Amino acid sequence: MPTRTTPLTVAVIALIWTLVAAPTATAQVDRVADPTWTTPRTADGQPDLQGLWGNKTITPTERRDSEGPAYLTDEEMAAANRQRILLLQAQDAAPAQRTEAGGQLGAYGSYWLDSGDTVLSTGQTSLIVDPPNGRAPIKSWALKARAYSLAHEGEHYQYLSTLDRCLSRGVPGSMLPAGYNNTHRIVQTPDYVVLQHEMIHDLRIIPLSDRPHIDDRIGLWMGDARGHWEGEVLVVETRNFHNRGWIATSGAGRRLKGIPTSTRMHVVERYERVSGTTIMWTVTVDDPNVYTQPWTISMPLTAEPDYVIYEYACHEGNYAIPNILAGARAQEAVAAQAATKGSR
């Protein structure tokens, strides 16, 4: 589903950029890790990652200022979080806005959205931690393809995101924060790890196996995954993607929304439980067709034991897609009629 960036959200993100950095920020994992923590085991002896984990945040995917600080101080984090609360309170107190028929209807009302009230507990100023400038190293052709798709969404369903089409948010897109539905369930068996994503009911069933990947000629929306344990860390390697997906489908992805995937994409994720309430999730994307070098996102997943995931019907048959395209055709007809009258 599309999400709309409000002026209030922009203001909070701008605050993150403009805060003055401390000389050296605390290492991200040290802020959330419990040095006394011992990860419990499942019945078959694996580190237990099971449960409900959320990752909503106001920290942006990319750092706008590549020369800015990589981390905030504790004081800066507190200031950004206070500012967010003040902005949300002002939003709640503002008079309702009326949307006129025929205009840009946008997305949902603010009451629907649940994109987070705080910066990441690690204090990082972007989800991307490598390259060090906090920016994805996107090739120019991919940026042009992104711009074309976003500018022509009404022309053909293929220019709409796979999120709008309720197909899949892909990998690693299914794990990236969105405007709402930011909870993920992890279930383990001796031979599999299952990731249930709240947004558009994406489900990944990951074999804990060294069996070969499927034939290179087969491409999947979420790729072909294999998992294994490296000590306390679950490592998931995914390949066999096709070239019809996007690396990010939500507006929260910012510049990454609309960047295409390719058949050469290779994704490696690492899940490590560092306390009773935190899993550190790190993902490295290597796609030489699309990026000039591999890049990495790292962020904490926070335990949400009392959360409830409900079924997400997602358009209930995708009837919104024909309506979106029909609306675009109607706009074209009105514009053509106006042009005809103007030429007389």
- Tens-place pLDDT, residues 156-188: 888 888 888 888 899 999 999 998 999 999 999
With a cut of 80, say whether residue 112 has pLDDT above it: no
Average pLDDT, stretch 75-82?
95
Between 323 and 98, the more confident residue is 323
Residue 315 token pair: 């358009």
Q: What is the pLDDT of residue 114?
A: 85
Which uninterrupted H or E stretch holds 261?
none
Q: What is the pLDDT of residue 317?
A: 57
Question: Is 186:51 a contact under the CB 8 Å cutoff?
Answer: yes
With a cut of 90, say whether residue 141 has pLDDT above it: yes
Report if pTM > 0.75. Answer: yes
Q: What is the pLDDT of residue 341?
A: 80
Q: Is 92 left (phi over 0), alpha (psi -120 to 50) or beta?
A: alpha
Rounded to 5 degrees, what angle do the CA atoms 272, 273, 274 make? 105
Q: What is the pLDDT of residue 161?
A: 85
With a cut of 60, say whether residue 210 has pLDDT above it: yes
Q: How many CA atoms lie within 13 A of 190 on its CB side?
A: 3
Q: How confident is the model at residue 204 (pLDDT cuts 50, 70, 90)?
A: very high
d(CA 56, CA 180): 8
C-alpha distances out from residue 218 to 28, 138, 239, 267, 337, Å: 38, 25, 10, 16, 46
d(CA 250, CA 257): 6
In this predicted structure, which of 42-51, 64-73, 124-133 has the lowest mean pLDDT?
64-73
Q: What is the pLDDT of residue 16?
A: 47
Between 10 and 330, the more confident residue is 330
d(CA 271, CA 265): 20
Which residue type sits at 223? G
Which residue type sits at 288? P
Rounded to 5 degrees, what angle do the CA atoms 294, 64, 166 make? 65
Q: What is the pLDDT of residue 21?
A: 39
With a cut of 70, say whether residue 216 has pLDDT above it: yes
